[in-house]
Amino acid sequence: MPDQLLFGTEVFLNGLMAGVLYALVALGFVLIYKASGIFNYAQGVMALFAALTLVGIMDGQVPFSHLINAVLGTDIHHFGWNVPAVLAIILTMGVMVVLAWAVQQFIFRHLVNQEPIILFMATIGLAYFMEGFGDIMWGSDIKKLDVGLPQGGSFWIEENTQWLGFGNENFYGFFLDQLDIVATVIAAILVIVLVLFSQYTKQGRAMRAVADDHQAALSVGISLNFIWVMVWSVAGFVALVAGIMWGAKSGVQFSLSLIALKALPVLMLGGFTSIPGAIVGGLIIGVGEKMFEFIVGPMVGGATENWFAYVLALIFLVFRPQGLFGDKIIERV
């Protein structure tokens, strides 16, 4: 195979993998929007907060230690133990459920029936609060996240694809990051579980009923409070998964909250209300931006990925405003 075709295929495969990582972030947005009509600006910060909490628990870090030391004049930072990754993930999930309850209890319970823009503003406030709260709770240093996931190029794939070059010295076999492969498997499982949950469980059906019409759902005895706490908890779990995957690449740090920027074009393209849409949107954005960078990037000085993702999303938006899989919005006069 010619060089460009081989390298193009490699870029395409890596684009798919990157797309899965974008989709993981987008999924959290979709879940909350689907159930409550809220565009959760805080989703990226939730991923950061979840990852910070996970590392903090794993390392046995004392939460709010800087604050405690400053007030009490003590010098405590660690409990002196380490928590296994699985247990730490479960405990972190517990924290995310408490967070979901608090968000519902102290913010959104008081904003029922408010305009969407008010709810959106509330999530902006929540995002900045959580960023500061996470900082005070766990500190702002960059933390290494190691939950035992494999990382680095897969030797097996490299060795077993080298023959595709037919002796081409410039081709070393396809590069695929093991972490991206794991992320793909996890994302696939997550989507299947979420679809099954929303289609075939009582709570899932109640969630969809709330999404369709709050008043009608209330009238048949569905607890709005419960459903929203549940949805924010599930979104918290998705944020945790996204935080683990992205945090393993860069360390857990405050820039992690910016991964939300990667999810926006995915949402525009896939639709705000479709779980499969988030995945397909992620894949299209991932492949589109990587292939554009590969083909056009060298002609225009590179660094095209950030803006091209939005161009791609805008093109789809013009022809399908509700996104590929989104529900068509029909307003009757």
Partner 1 sequence: MKLKLISAAVAAIVAAAPAMADLTFSALSYRTGPYAANGIPFADGYQDYFTLLNERDGGIGGEKINLVECETGYNTEKGVECYESTKGSGALVYQPLSTGITYQLIPKATADGIPVHSMGYGRTSAKNGAVFNNIFNYPANYWDGASVAIKHLLDLNGGDLKGKKIALVYHNSAYGKEPIRTLEELSKKHGYTLTQLAVDHPGQEQKSQWLQIRRERPDYVIMWGWGVMNQVAIQEAVNIRYPMENFIGIWWSGSENDVLPAGEGANGYKALTFHNVGSDYPLYDDIKKYVVDAGKAAGAGDQLGTVLYNRGLYAAMLAAEAAKTAQAMHGTATITPQQMRDGMENLEMTEDKMTALGLPNFGPSFKVSCANHGGDGFGAVTQWDAKAGKWNMITEYMQSDQEVLNPLIAGDSEAYAKENGITPGCN
Q: Which of 301, 319, 331, 333 binds partner 1 (CB under 8 A)?
A: 301
Contacts of residue 1, Cβ cutoff 8 Å, sequence gap at least 6: 164, 165, 166, 168
* Nearest distance, CB of residue 41 and partner 1, angstroms: 16
SS3 state at 78 = strand
- Contact range with partner 1 by CB under 8 A, out of 96-104, 111-119, 223-231, 301-309: 301-309
- Comparison of 171 and 272: residue with beta carbon closer to partner 1: 171
Q: Which of 67, 112, 142, 196 binds partner 1 (CB under 8 A)?
A: 142
Give the whole-angstrom CA distance, residue 168 versus residue 174.
13
Distances (CA, A) of 318 to 169, 312, 329: 45, 10, 15
Q: Which residue has the tokens 């679809």?
A: 195
Give the whole-angstrom CA distance, residue 245 versus residue 182.
9
Site string for partner 1, 23-62 (x = CB under 8 A): ----------------------------------------
Residue 321 contacts partner 1 per CB under 8 A: no
- Comparison of 151 and 201: residue with beta carbon closer to partner 1: 151
Two tokens at 97? 């459920």
Is the CB of residue 211 less than 8 Å from the CB of residue 45? no
Residue 170 contacts partner 1 per CB under 8 A: yes
* Nearest distance, CB of residue 297 and partner 1, angstroms: 7
- Measured on CA atoms in the order 158, 164, 168, 174, is the torsion positive or negative? negative
Site string for partner 1, 238-267 (x = CB under 8 A): --------x--xxx-xxxxxxx--x-----
Q: Which of 111, 302, 311, 315 binds partner 1 (CB under 8 A)?
A: 302
Which residue from 321, 187, 201, 206 is spatially nearest to 267, judged by alpha carbons?
Answer: 321
**What secondary structure does DSSP assign to 282-320, as a single string?**
HHHHHHHHHHHHHHTHHHHTS--HHHHHHHHHHHHHHH-
- Comparison of 231 and 263: residue with beta carbon closer to partner 1: 263
- Binding site residues, partner 1, CB under 8 A: 7, 10-11, 14, 17-18, 66, 69, 73, 77, 132, 135, 140-146, 151-153, 170, 172, 175, 177, 246, 249-251, 253-259, 262, 290, 293-294, 297, 301-303, 305-307
